[in-house]
């Protein structure tokens, strides 16, 4: 403020305009700060040298400091003042209540509860399904061995070796069928397996049909070799069986994937 005043004096501004400028600036500052009262006192100039145009010289000017008196009032909502403390207190209360409930709650699963028994039954169903899948895969392995024996027969013409492989395969398939029977009985009677049982039943039916078609194909090929039939005749006789076997094998593989995902 003093620098601005002295600058105005240097530039030759009239004294009354300087005083008016000071008053305007004081009022502007008071309005911006929200002051309720503003006091402004201008200094009296002591005697000194003056120029011809009536403007006091630098040596003859003395300024008093301009003082401001301000009073600022704030008004708060009572609810706003209580909001954060109440939120903090509520948070601590809920935390301690949750801790008390957790410490006193019994979350252990009783061995006699319905949920525990249902879980045990479902585990048994899953174990049985896994065993069924293993047996079916072993049956498919036997099927592959029979197919391999037919390829060896077409290459070597050894009918005895092919029949021996067939005999071993028949024994393995009978044993696997015996292992499969109790598992199927359990799955059929278990309520937990009601959803998956239709797929298992379809899988067993497809595998047995595939087994029958493969045995029929094997017998046909061996019989043709014993009768010294030509290769073209053998292919014509087993063509329909081979198409059916290919379709059944694809269906069995798809059912195994579906059951494995359940």
Helix axes 231-261, 114-156, angle to 10 degrees: 160
Range of the domain at 21: 2-60
Query: If 0-12 CB within 10 Å is exposed, 13-18 middle and 19+ buried, where does residue 193 land?
Result: buried
24 belongs to a structural domain: yes
16 belongs to a structural domain: yes
Whether the pLDDT of residue 219 is over 50: the answer is yes
108 belongs to a structural domain: no
166 belongs to a structural domain: yes
Q: Residue 146: its pLDDT value, please?
A: 94
Show which of 38, 60, 82 is a domain's final residue.
60
Which pLDDT tens digit goes with each residue over 58-94?
A: 333 343 444 556 666 667 677 777 888 888 999 999 9
97 belongs to a structural domain: no
Minimum mean pLDDT range among 22-26, 47-51, 122-126, 183-187:
47-51
| Residue 48 and residue 177 in one domain | no
CATH of the domain at 192: 1.20.1420
For residues 166 and 102, what is the distance between their CA atoms, to the nearest angstrom?
A: 66
For residues 195 and 258, what is the distance between their CA atoms, to the nearest angstrom?
A: 12
Chain-centroid distance, C-alpha 113: 32
Whether the pLDDT of residue 50 is over 80: the answer is no
| Residue 29 and residue 121 in one domain | no
- Give me the number of domains the chain comprises: 2
68 belongs to a structural domain: no
| Residue 144 and residue 54 in one domain | no
| Residue 238 and residue 123 in one domain | yes
Higher pLDDT: 5 or 112? It is 112
For residues 262 and 257, what is the distance between their CA atoms, to the nearest angstrom?
A: 9
User: Could you tell me which residues come within 8 angstroms of residue 244 by beta carbon, excluding any fewer than 6 positions away?
Assistant: 213
Whether the pLDDT of residue 5 is over 60: the answer is no
């Amino acid at each position: 403020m003093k620098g601005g005043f002295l600058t105005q004096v240097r530039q030759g501004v009239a004294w009354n305009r300087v005083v008016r400028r000071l008053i305007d600036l004081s009022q502007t500052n008071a309005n911006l700060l929200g002051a309720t009262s503003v006091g402004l006192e201008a200094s009296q100039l002591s005697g000194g040298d003056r120029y011809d145009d009536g403007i006091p010289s630098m040596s003859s000017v003395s300024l008093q400091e301009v003082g401001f008196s301000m009073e600022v009032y704030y008004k708060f909502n009572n609810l706003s003042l209580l909001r954060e403390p109440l939120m903090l207190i509520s948070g601590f209360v809920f935390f301690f209540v949750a801790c008390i409930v957790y410490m006193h709650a019994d979350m252990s699963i009783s061995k006699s509860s319905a949920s525990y028994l249902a879980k045990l039954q479902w585990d048994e169903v899953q174990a049985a399904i896994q065993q069924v899948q293993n047996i079916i895969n072993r049956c498919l392995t036997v099927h592959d061995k029979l197919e391999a024996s037919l390829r060896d027969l077409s290459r070597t013409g050894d009918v005895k070796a092919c029949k021996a492989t067939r005999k071993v395969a028949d024994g393995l398939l009978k044993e696997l069928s015996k292992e499969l029977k109790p598992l199927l009985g359990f799955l059929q009677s278990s309520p937990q397996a009601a959803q998956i049982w239709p797929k298992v039943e379809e899988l067993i039916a497809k595998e047995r049909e595939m087994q029958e078609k493969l045995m029929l194909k094997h017998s046909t090929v061996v019989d043709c070799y014993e009768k010294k039939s030509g290769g073209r005749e053998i292919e014509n006789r087993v063509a329909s069986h081979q198409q059916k076997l290919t379709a059944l094998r694809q269906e069995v593989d798809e059912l195994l994937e579906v059951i494995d995902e359940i």
